[in-house]
Structure 1
Amino acid sequence: MFEVLVMAGGFLAFAMGSGFASGQEVLRFFSLYGFWGSLGGGLLAAAIFAGTGALVAADGARLKLAEPDLVYDHYLGKTLGTLYRLVMPIVMFLFLAVMSAGAGAAFQESFGLPNWAGIVAMMGLCFLTVCFDLRTLLQAIGGIGMLILGASVLLSVTVLLDAWERAGGMQQLFLETDSTVRAAEEAGAIGTKSAAGFSWWSAGILYASYNLLTAFPFLNGMGKEASGAGRAAWGGLLGGTFYMAGAMLMNLALRTDLAAVAESQLPLLFLAGQRASWTEGIFAFLLLGSIYTTAAPLLWSLTESLTLSKRPANRRFLAFFLACLAAVGGTLPFDRMLTAVYPLAGWAGLILPVSAILHHFRRRFV
């Protein structure tokens, strides 16, 4: 059981930075689609995310592939798999730019500093990690994904309980929330025009898809290290389920004050700031740590995949160049970057969960 929980935690931590930590992802993909739409999209995303995670992790235990990214060839065939491996550096760079923008937004909203300070600090730290091989530092704070999940769940429950008490009951709370949201939509303050996807079900599918796009090699590698396919499958299933349960709790908390939350670049920090300024400060540091544990491996992988020469000087120059490009991209507004990049990545990765499910169907029944 301990091995299963460790794998579930690893899956959670891997996906946290780009799929959960800021609250903007949950807002755009779920909360803006109404109460029932957000829950329906969340259930659909959970089924795809957790189910596919279980299948890919189990295959990792069975296949023992020499390289994790060969998992694309396994599910898509040699030609399409090779194409995906060529496209992945572009996707990773776009994700890195989004992480850069998120760091800038955190510095601006939480500390009152210019966003470029956060961008430079985050990309500079990622560059140093690649240059000096600071894997020890990265591993030391790698568990921050689990920490921010636990903290965000605690915050969400607290917000919901307070709102419930003010409204006089959960049913009344959701009636008042929906009424407030409808008024804000009519005033043009919020609406599905700024949401990801074109409907609640498309948003749920795209959310799972973009999170899985870069997770396939990780899940395959995680399964490879497991003691058996069954335990690997449970690790992927529980990790995906816990992850989406936390996302749905956050969704409900965001919807208690959606009109105000939608104005924030970092909705989770906004909720924390409503409790106390010191709470927002703690969440800001957790968010920055979560961004770092996602951004540094992205820059690392990008540098490794694009380096033609193994000379350290060439590798460092490429890492510096990529970090600078991501910093320039990070000057764009975080919410707009996220709404543009993540759905696009979701469409690009849509074939992956479909292929994994079809592969297992053929293996079992054909």
Structure 2
Amino acid sequence: MGKESINVKKIIIIAGALCAYWIGSGFATGQEVLQFLATSGAIKGIIGAIIYAILLGFFVYTLYGVGQKMQFEDPYDIFEYYCGKYIGKIYMWFSVILMYGIYVTMLAGSGATIHQYFGAPTNIGTYIVALLALGTAILGVEKLLDIIGVIGPIKIVFLTIMGISALVTLVGKPNLLSVNSVLIATAGFKIASNNWLWSAILWASLGLMFGITFFVISGSSCKSLKEARLSSIIGVSAISIEVVLLVITEIVYLDVIKGQQVPTLAIAKYISPILGMIFSLILILCIYSAVSSMIMVVTRKFAVDKTKRFNIVATILTLAGMFAGTLLPFDQLVNILYPVSGYIGILLVGLMIYKEFINKNAFPYSKNDKKIIENSGENITR
């Protein structure tokens, strides 16, 4: 096998794009971490975060590699690759519906964020972010990855600042974490599951359903397998640290986040009005980058990017999403859509494990046989 080339800038961009995609409205606003992990308390929440990180790492590392090696013409072919032709089609269409549902949920999150900080009507925030995301998606996959790859590290920095503030608070009040770990269970927050371990597994399998086609697209944009895998490791490592920090932060600032649609924004405003103002803009960037990616991924099922058909389909989906994103409260959308998707994703996890570790010849995939031969042991040039 020849020596694989590595483009450090490309690795950072792809890792940053993963962070930008992953830290969308559910994550950046704090609702996902709150409902899946923090409500279980500090110890169970942190252990759950570690389990989540291990599973996420496996998904991203594997799928970036498969995407780079297979170079699917249609990223949704990944479902046929792992599930076979018929089950794969079921998963493919469920994935399209799920991602569009999450896209709508993220739009609702943008409206909630802008309303909570700026006082503007919720629907106005939703419309603005939707139109900006549409414009970005129309630019094409490579340009989108370049844009959101820069935004990802910015998100990481600001979430880390809040995490450090929580840790500093704990130095002065060392019992606060244990006390609030008990109180958070009865604080009235929505929860994904009554079992903390199951919540972590559900969230990870949701992540698989949510991100599988994006992982494939990102991996295929890399020029070598090593480049793809390094990108995945760096991106998942950064996300995992933020998950643990956010669990601690939400428990420490329990009194601050009660009754808030956007917990992280409430915390940022509590720490510093200036931080709150800046973070409100960062949150909008978080949601904008994730929404841009989602509308790109969904539209790719119906058309190739940078075509007239793509632009028309993306516009129609955006207009429908702008309307649907104003129908239900953000936390209610998260609580309904995310856990159900997690359950659906568990079967897919099993099928992935089966093909990767038990029977690599399961569910023969014929569309790319020629490419598999051509790409074996070679770099991919795009």
TM-score (norm 1): 0.86
Shift of 1:43: 1.4
The answer to whether the aligner puts 1:116 opposite 2:116 as a matched pair is no
- d(CA) in 2 for partners of 1:134, 1:236: 18
SS at match of 2:28: coil
2:172 equivalent to 1:166: yes
CA 1:206–1:104 in 2, change beyond 3 Å: closer, same or farther? same
Match for residue 291 of structure 1?
287
Distance 2:208 2:83 in 1: 15
Partner amino acid, structure 1, of 2:232: G
Equivalence map 1:82-93=2 (5 Å): 82-93=89-100
Which one-letter code corresponds to 2:151 in the other structure? I
| Structure 1 residue 362 corresponds to structure 2 residue 358 | yes
- Cα distance change of structure 1 residues 132 and 68 upon mapping to structure 2, 3 Å threshold: closer
How far apart are residue 19 of structure 1 and its match? 4.9
C-alpha deviation, 1:15, in angstroms: 1.4
Q: 1:269 deviation in Å?
A: 0.7
Taking the TM superposition and a 5 Å limit, the aligned residue runs for 1:168-207 are: 169=174, 172-178=175-181, 181-182=182-183, 185=185, 188-190=186-188, 194-207=190-203
Q: What are the residue-to-residue correspondences of 1:19-38 with 2, within 5 Å? A: 19-38=26-45
| C-alpha displacement of 1:307 | 6.2
Q: CA deviation at 1:283?
A: 0.9
Q: Give 1:119 deviation, angstroms.
A: 1.3
| Structure 2 residue 349 is the aligned partner of structure 1 residue 353 | yes
- Check conservation: 1:19, 1:211, Cα contact below 8 A: no
SS in 2 for 1:195: coil
CA contact under 8 A between 1:50 and 1:238: conserved in structure 2?
Answer: no
1:103 Cα deviation from its structure 2 partner: 0.8
Structure 2 counterpart of 1:275: 271
Which moves more between the two structures, 25-34 or 295-304?
A: 295-304
Contact 1:61 1:228 in 2 (8 A): yes
Unaligned runs of 5+ in 2: 1-5, 363-382
The aligned counterpart of 1:257 is: 253
Q: CA deviation at 1:125?
A: 2.5
Q: How many residues align?
A: 353
| Structure 1 stretch displaced more, 242-251 or 212-221 | 212-221
Letter in 1 for 2:323: V
Cα distance, 1:150–1:141 mapped onto 2, change above 3 Å: same
Aligned to 1:53: 60
**SS of the counterpart of 1:20?**
helix
- Seen in structure 2, the aligned counterparts of structure 1 residues 35 and 357 have a Cα distance that, compared at 3 Å, is same
After TM superposition, give the deviation of residue 255 of structure 1 in Å: 0.4
Counterpart amino acid of 1:190?
G
Q: Would you say the 8 A contact 1:27–1:262 is kept in 2?
A: no
**Contact 2:44/2:196 (CA < 8 Å) preserved in 1?**
yes
> 1:217-256 residue pairs with structure 2 within 5 A?
217-256=213-252
TM normalised by structure 2 equals 0.82
SS of the residue corresponding to residue 261 of structure 2 reads coil
- The alpha-carbon distance between structure 1 residues 298 and 220, as it changes in their structure 2 partners (threshold 3 A), is closer
Give the corresponding residue for 1:17.
24
Aligned partner (choices 145, 152, 156) of residue 149 of structure 1: 156
1:103 aligns with 2:114: no
Deviations 1:187-230 (A, max 9, x none): x5325xx2112311111111111222132223233333445434
Distance 1:57 1:353 in 2: 15
Return closer, same or farther for 1:13/1:137 CA change in 2, 3 Å cut-off: closer
Q: CA 1:317–1:57 in 2, change beyond 3 Å: closer, same or farther?
A: closer
1:64–1:120 Cα change, 3 Å: closer
Alpha-carbon distance in 2 for matches of 1:222, 1:136:
12
Residue type matched to 1:281 in 2?
Answer: M
Match of 1:325 among 320, 324, 337: 320
CA distance in 1, matches of 2:361, 2:142: 44
Q: 1 CA distance for matches of 2:351 and 2:179?
A: 42
1:71 aligns with 78
Cα 1:133/1:229, change in 2 over 3 Å: closer
Contact kept, 8 Å, 2:141 with 2:296, in 1: the verdict is no
Other-structure match for 2:368: none
